[in-house]
Each structure stands twice: as C-alpha cells, then as structure tokens.
C-alpha cells in the first residue's frame, strides 16, 4: 500500500526559508523509474507543479521558482525534502507531494499540508 505524508511548519514569516518533508511508504526511491514531485495550491486556485526528484537523483524545477527551490531525498528514511527560500505571502497554500512513475503520472498523493506566510 502506497502512502505519502507531508510535514512541516504551518506558519512561516516573510523572507524565511520553508522546509517540507514528504515521508512515504509502499515503494522505494532507489527503484528504477520511481520519482516524487511537489505540487502546491493557493487557496481557491489551481494546482502548480513545483519540482521532481528521481530514483537516480535527477532533479527538475518549476521555471519561475527554480532559484528558490531545492529538492533532495533521503532514501534510507523514505523521505523527500523540499526547501523554498525567501517566502512571501503569495506562497501561502497547500503543499502536496505525490509519486510519479512515468507513464502513470502522479498516481498517489499525500493529503497536503497548509502553509501560511504571514508576519
């Protein structure tokens, strides 16, 4: 059974760095073809793809956010970490992690974690 769960602070101040952790089970990020993506959703708005990390440590980022994002993995802990620097109130939203298997798109999602950026 595949599960993913996001964790991190619910509130961050402007200019701070956000660190989110995706802890997963039911698959391994050392298995060829396995990947994990981060996606976010501002309140009442559409989904926005942020980043992806692959089993071979290849990494891909949103064009508009790539200077602020870093994605990494700890295979031994079954975790993927996303950091986003210089947080702003417009970054407020629910952050999801999801598994990606190529052909299968984003087939399993975490429940999401709401991050509010406010002083």
Going by the DSSP 8-state scheme, the letter that residue 85 receives in this structure is -
Please tell me whether residue 100 binds another protein under the rule CB under 8 A. yes
Q: Among the candidate windows 11-19, 25-33, 70-78, 107-115, which touches another protein by CB under 8 A?
A: 107-115
CA 29 to chain centre: 14
The terminus-to-terminus CA distance of the chain in angstroms comes to: 40
Among the listed residues 38, 97, 100, 101, the one whose alpha carbon sits nearest the alpha carbon of residue 65: 38
Q: Among the candidate windows 8-16, 21-29, 73-81, 98-106, which touches another protein by CB under 8 A?
A: 98-106
CB-wise, 16 or 101, nearer to another protein?
101
Task: Select from 9, 26, 42, 104 the one that contacts another protein (CB under 8 A).
Answer: 104
CB-wise, 83 or 114, nearer to another protein?
114
Cβ(43)–Cβ(92) below 8 Å = yes
**Binding to another protein in span 3-32, by CB under 8 A:** none
Whole-number Å distance between alpha carbons of 28 and 79:
10
Please tell me whether residue 106 binds another protein under the rule CB under 8 A. yes
Going by the DSSP 8-state scheme, the letter that residue 89 receives in this structure is G
Cβ(50)–Cβ(106) below 8 Å = no
* Smallest separation, CB 19 to another protein (Å): 21
CB-wise, 1 or 119, nearer to another protein?
1
Sign of the dihedral defined by the CA atoms of residues 18, 55, 50, 93, in that order: negative
- Contacting positions for another protein (CB under 8 A): 37, 39, 46-49, 52, 60-63, 96, 98, 100, 103-107, 109-112
């Amino acid at each position: 059974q595949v599960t993913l769960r996001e964790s991190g602070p619910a509130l961050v101040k402007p200019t701070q760095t956000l660190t989110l952790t995706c802890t997963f089970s039911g698959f391994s990020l050392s298995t060829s073809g396995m990947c994990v993506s981060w996606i976010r959703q501002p309140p009442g708005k559409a989904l926005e793809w942020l980043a992806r990390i692959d089993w071979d440590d290849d990494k891909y980022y949103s064009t508009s956010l790539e200077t602020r994002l870093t994605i990494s993995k700890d295979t031994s802990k079954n975790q993927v970490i996303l950091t986003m620097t210089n947080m702003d109130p417009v970054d407020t939203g629910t952050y999801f992690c999801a598994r990606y298997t190529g052909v299968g798109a984003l087939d399993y999602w975490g429940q999401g974690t709401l991050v509010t950026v406010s002083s």
